[in-house]
Amino acid sequence: MSKNKFPILLSWFLILASCISFNSSLFAQKTKTLLQSGDKAMKENDFFGATIYYNRAIMQDSSDIDLQYKYAEASRLNYDYPIADRFYAKVYKKDVQGKLYPQCAFWIASLKKNQGKYKEAKKMFDKYAKKNKKKKDDYFVKKAIQEVAACDLAEVLMASPDKSIKIIHLDTMVNSKVSEYAPVEVDSVLYFSSLRDKKDRDKKHNESYNKIFTAVQDSIRWHKAKELDTVFNKEGIHNANTSFNNDFTKVYITRCEQKNAQDFMCEIYSSNFKNGHWQQLKKLPSEINMKGYTNTQPAVGFLGDEEVLFFSSNRPGGEGKMDIWYSKINKDRTYGQPVNAGKKINSIEDEITPYYCKPCQDLFFSSTWHKGLGGFDIFKSEYKDEAFSEPKNLGVPINSSYNDIYFTINSKKTAAFISSNRTGSYFEEKESCCNDIYTFKIPKINEPPVKVDSAKVFVTQMKLLVPLTLYFHNDEPDKKTTAITTTKNYKKTYEDYVVMREQYKKEYSKGAKDKDYERAINDIDLFFDDSVEAGIQDLERFALLLKKVLSDSEKVTITMKGYCSPLASTDYNINLAKRRISSLRNYFMQYDNGVFTRYINNTNAREGSITFMDEDIGELKARPNVSDDYYDTKNSIYSPAAALERKIQIIAISSFSTNK
């Protein structure tokens, strides 16, 4: 049995095939023994082995919540996302208040994001951050807050892919069922790293050593890849990460020794091209290869007129985990003291696989912290005025919800390459286990950048918020009236509503005991967090975007729809729904001291305008657990099911501009 893994932390460059043999005696092991073996494997970062042991233990005792959590953890780290998601959900359901496993909600959110379910992920991250807001310096809280914003960006990027980019998955002449990564093309020769050599194996960890390969492309296709000779590929050690200097007379690679199933100690080597061949590789000095730390993924670049060597390292003095560093390459070929690329590039998480494009003066790298679609995303930062700019996500389809790393541009500056374990990559047993190499054509780098239509971007972001749902307490705004308008602003009805949370808990939990009581309380918290408060947050963001769009002379039509629970008569509910729509109109009229007033039904063709449209209003069909009994207030007013029916939605938004 074998598995190809995509380890995180120090081993991005090594996607290793772990083989663990289990004889028939394993099946007779007791649950306790299996747990001990699984725990030991986790301690050694052997996540694949841990999943095997925990899975066997689960088959013997599927009700143990601690075992379920351990199995979920191991599966997540082994990239078995569906299994991890399922078992985290089991734990989350049992541990209602999150007292036993406080990070469970965080990991569920992370898995949702990794699977491209950004709205679900955002809700979970936001809930986690709010619940733990007092722990301001906690890593998970910081990450959750960052991921809320990242999920918003991810939805925008997914909705606005760059259709000019066609990602091509290289065929089996280059890619295989194990991992291929670190592509560098020089004059139609592709250098890359792979685990496909089965002859040279690490017996202790029972896996192949990484080797560097080349594949040649003609006008039609790629030819079958070949392993480089022993100048590049030393036996008994991992060899990876090829990089060349500007005139291709010097090459850098990384060599790594394995510490455990996931972690490696790496050093950077170089060789000069003399007399028609490459010289023996030599290890770079201690300035680059700081003892006791990993130094990897070399890439030559220029900062101004100075040639520098970029690399990734977990050495002290950085922002956290793996950082991007650079060292000046002196004219006598010595190396200056490495400099951290700074806080705009590096973060408390991992920044890896640097690549510098000299003509465009951009540093490309991958990160798990900067706002992205999931896993590692590829970013670029312009070097200008002796500083790096804020990183920009390269967007879709270059990035995905999986790991996207090792961006490079070929020597002719006509195509780019990446490595990714996205859907469609080859695998032996488990999808998303392994990286493959992808390529796409790029425009001429010296061409001026295309002007971005900011209004179009903002409208896209607004559309991603639709349907935008807002909630009301029973018979609000303005109780016991048949009026179809109100003077209340939706924000005021929201503020009056959220202070009733404790009353909702009290009424909805009446008669409940023990776990049923906890579940009732939790259900009310879920409703207020994920529906009521999430709604006002979306509305505030919608209004901010609308302000930007209107200032760019867009003509915007907003279609709204009101709903009510079935507690009152249909005629009464129709008027109530109209009042709710009226409260939302009032919100827009009064927003930011009336900034939208001049745009409402504005007939000036050269300016922006807002047109409000109403659509089919009234009551929803009653859900099975929603009561229409006036005296059953627990189920007709205070239950989350009933509360979810008292709402208004912005169901559509359209726009056009007469100035474009």
pTM of the model: 0.81
Bridge-based pairing of strands 180-186 and 238-244 is: unpaired
Instruction: Please tell me the least confidently modeled range out of 191-200, 513-522, 541-550.
Output: 191-200
pLDDT of residue 312: 98
Q: Is the peptide bond before 359 cis (omega within 30 degrees of 0)?
A: no
Q: Does pLDDT of 405 surpass 60?
A: yes
What's the token pair of residue 589?
């009229």
636 compared with 204, residue with greater pLDDT: 636
Amino acid at 35: L
pLDDT of residue 624: 57
Domain 454-657, CATH homologous superfamily name and number: OmpA-like domain (3.30.1330.60)
Q: What is the mean pLDDT of the segment spanning 166-187?
A: 94
409-429 tens-digit pLDDT:
998 899 999 999 999 999 877
CA 240 to chain centre: 26
Cβ neighbours, 10 Å, residue 305: 5
Bridge-based pairing of strands 554-564 and 609-614 is: parallel
Q: Is the peptide bond before 183 cis (omega within 30 degrees of 0)?
A: no
pLDDT level of residue 627 (50, 70, 90 thresholds): low
Q: What is the mean pLDDT of the segment spanning 392-407?
A: 97
The answer to whether residues 504 and 524 touch, using CB atoms and an 8 Å cutoff, is yes
651 compared with 203, residue with greater pLDDT: 651
What's the token pair of residue 186?
């020089």
- The CATH class, in words, for 168-441 is mainly beta
Instruction: Please tell me the least confidently modeled range out of 121-135, 254-268, 300-314.
Output: 254-268
Q: Is the peptide bond before 566 cis (omega within 30 degrees of 0)?
A: no
Q: What is the mean pLDDT of the segment spanning 145-162?
A: 94
- Decide: helix, strand or coil at residue 381: strand
Q: Does pLDDT of 336 surpass 60?
A: yes
The answer to whether residues 268 and 329 touch, using CB atoms and an 8 Å cutoff, is no
Considering the four listed CATH numbers 3.30.70.1140, 1.25.40.10, 1.10.645.10, 3.40.1000.10, the one that applies to the domain covering 2-159 is 1.25.40.10
Q: What percent of the chain has pLDDT over 90?
A: 65
pLDDT of residue 203: 79
Q: Measuring CA to CA, which residue among 490, 499, 613, 602 is closest to residue 553?
A: 602
Q: Does pLDDT of 452 surpass 80?
A: no
Q: Measuring CA to CA, which residue among 405, 398, 431, 439 is closest to residue 420?
A: 405
* Mean pLDDT across the chain: 88
Q: Does pLDDT of 273 surpass 50?
A: yes
CA 346 to chain centre: 17
Q: What is the mean pLDDT of the segment spanning 333-362?
A: 95
Q: Can you tell me which residue has the tokens 């009026």?
A: 483
The answer to whether residues 178 and 17 touch, using CB atoms and an 8 Å cutoff, is yes
pLDDT level of residue 479 (50, 70, 90 thresholds): very high
Cβ-Cβ contacts under 8 Å for 362 (sequence gap 6 or more): 356, 380, 381, 382, 383
Amino acid at 563: Y
pLDDT of residue 623: 53
Task: Tell me how far apart the alpha carbons of residues 601 and 486 are, in angstroms, rounded to a whole number.
Answer: 20
Q: What percent of the chain has pLDDT over 70?
A: 91
pLDDT level of residue 571 (50, 70, 90 thresholds): confident
CB-facing half-sphere around the CA of 462: CA atoms within 13 A: 26
Q: What is the mean pLDDT of the segment spanning 243-248?
A: 89
The answer to whether residues 241 and 221 touch, using CB atoms and an 8 Å cutoff, is no
pLDDT of residue 184: 96
Q: Does pLDDT of 436 surpass 50?
A: yes
353-383 tens-digit pLDDT:
999 999 989 999 999 999 999 999 999 999 9
Task: Give CA angle at 135 (131, 136), nearest 5°.
Answer: 110
pLDDT level of residue 341 (50, 70, 90 thresholds): very high
Q: Measuring CA to CA, which residue among 146, 169, 149 is closest to residue 157?
A: 149
CA 251 to chain centre: 33
14-65 tens-digit pLDDT:
433 333 333 434 444 588 899 999 999 999 889 999 999 999 999 988 889 9
Per-domain residue ranges of the chain: 2-159, 168-441, 454-657
Beta-strand runs (E) in 276-403 = 277-278, 282-283, 295-303, 306-313, 323-328, 339-340, 351-357, 362-367, 377-384, 387-388, 392-393
What's the token pair of residue 49?
């082995």
pLDDT of residue 262: 72
Beta-strand runs (E) in 413-553 = 415-420, 436-441, 468-471
Q: Does pLDDT of 465 surpass 50?
A: yes
> What are the C-alpha distances in Å from 441 to residues 207, 408, 514?
35, 12, 61
Q: Does pLDDT of 216 surpass 70?
A: yes
In terms of Cβ atoms closer than 10 Å to its own Cβ (0-12, 13-18, 19+), residue 628 is middle
The answer to whether residues 114 and 375 touch, using CB atoms and an 8 Å cutoff, is yes
Cβ-Cβ contacts under 8 Å for 263 (sequence gap 6 or more): 7, 9, 10, 11, 45
The answer to whether residues 80 and 48 touch, using CB atoms and an 8 Å cutoff, is no
Q: Does pLDDT of 319 surpass 80?
A: yes
DSSP-derived secondary structure letter, 116: T
Task: Tell me how far apart the alpha carbons of residues 206 and 537 are, in angstroms, rounded to a whole number.
Answer: 52
pLDDT of residue 574: 87
Q: What is the mean pLDDT of the segment spanning 602-611?
A: 91
Q: What is the mean pLDDT of the segment spanning 177-204?
A: 89
Q: Cα Rg for the chain, rounded, in angstroms?
A: 29
pLDDT of residue 450: 54
Q: What is the mean pLDDT of the segment spanning 213-234?
A: 89
pLDDT of residue 147: 97
